[in-house]
Structure 1
Amino acid sequence: MSALRAPATFPERRGEPTPRRAPLTAVEGGAGRRLDAVRAPLQATSGLPFMVLCALVLVGALFSALLLNTSMARGSYEMSRLQREVGLVAQDVQEVQAELRAAESSLPQQATRLGMVPAEDMTMLSVVEGTIVAGSAEEP
């Protein structure tokens, strides 16, 4: 801490002469050093604005944490709902695929029941070229 040299002035008392005082000397730390009067430290300013600023920062951080936590919880509930929905859709797809496999395996029996017979000579039509393509019949 630095000290400014200031002249030692004492208020004058009325009626009494001002006695001349000898300068003080340091005895303990440095013998023979002269001690000078220094200016009193300035009065500390109020810490209220700093405390209010700290409180506002704390409240803002808590509010931000609350909003973040709320949005994360909402996202978690949405994700759980969507996972449940995906599970139900996957189950429906498996059921439809099982029905399709059952229908494919019973297709020849249903065709015979309806009076259909296998084709002896298959022919195909090429739509692009507009021609008839001959093919061979396959026995099931």
Structure 2
Amino acid sequence: MSAQATARVAPPAFAPRPRPEREATPSARLRVVRAPAQARTRVPFVLVCMGVLAVALLSALLLNTQMAQASYAIHDKTNELARLDQDQKDLVAVLDHKSSPEELAQAARRLDMVPAAGTGWVRLSDGSVQGAPKAKK
């Protein structure tokens, strides 16, 4: 034998590898695989999603209702405050009109009050009257 015949040459690295040959038997062909007997259902997931959506919508509705009620309450209180402010201004105007010095002196005379000539004061610690308040003649 020659040296060339006994030496085997390796195939080049870029050459495709030969495929192992398969025998054409029915077991080597593709076949349909059945679904598992216990298939997962999507019903719980759908129910949870619907529940979350319902809770979110209900909470938004309740929040909106509370905000509307608070807005009406603020509006009512603002109107009441404006009305009370106007009443206070009217009463101050009436009081200013009735508290002119002449009208005040007339009201004091009707109550049998007389003008004082001097001033006096009360000491709170013992309740004694200090000074000499006297009526003008």
Give the TM-score normalised by structure 1: 0.57
- Counterpart CA distance in 2 for 1:83 and 1:108 is 40
Alpha-carbon offset, residue 125 of structure 1: 3.7
CA distance in 2, matches of 1:123, 1:57: 81
Q: Which residues in structure 2 correspond to 1:16-27 (within 5 Å)? A: 20=25
Instruction: Please show how residues 19-58 of structure 1 align to structure 2 within 5 Å.
Output: 20=25, 45-58=40-53
Deviation of the 1:42 alpha carbon = 5.9
Say yes or no: does 1:63 pair with 2:58. Answer: yes
How far has the Cα of 1:127 moved from its partner?
A: 3.7
Structure 1 residues 114 and 45 mapped into 2: Cα distance closer, same or farther (>3 Å)?
closer
The residue aligned with 2:104 is: 107
SS of 1:122's equivalent in the other structure is: coil
- Is 1:122 matched with 2:118? yes
Counting aligned pairs with the same residue, the percent is 35
Residues 1:131 and 2:129 are matched in the alignment = yes
Query: When the two structures are aligned, how many residues end up with a matched partner?
Result: 105
Structure (1/2) with the larger helix percentage: 2
For residue 83 of structure 1, the aligned residue among 78, 83, 106 is 78
Higher relative contact order (CA 8 A, sep 6+): 1
Per the normalisation by structure 2, the TM-score is 0.58
Query: Alignment RMSD, CA only?
Result: 3.6
Mark the structure with the bigger radius of gyration: 2
When residues 41 and 101 of structure 1 are mapped into structure 2, their CA distance, relative to the original with a 3 A threshold, is: farther
Residue 104 of structure 2 aligns with an amino acid whose one-letter code is L
- The SS at the match of 1:132 is strand
Unaligned runs of at least 5 residues, structure 2? 1-23
5+ residue gaps, structure 1: 1-18, 25-36, 136-140
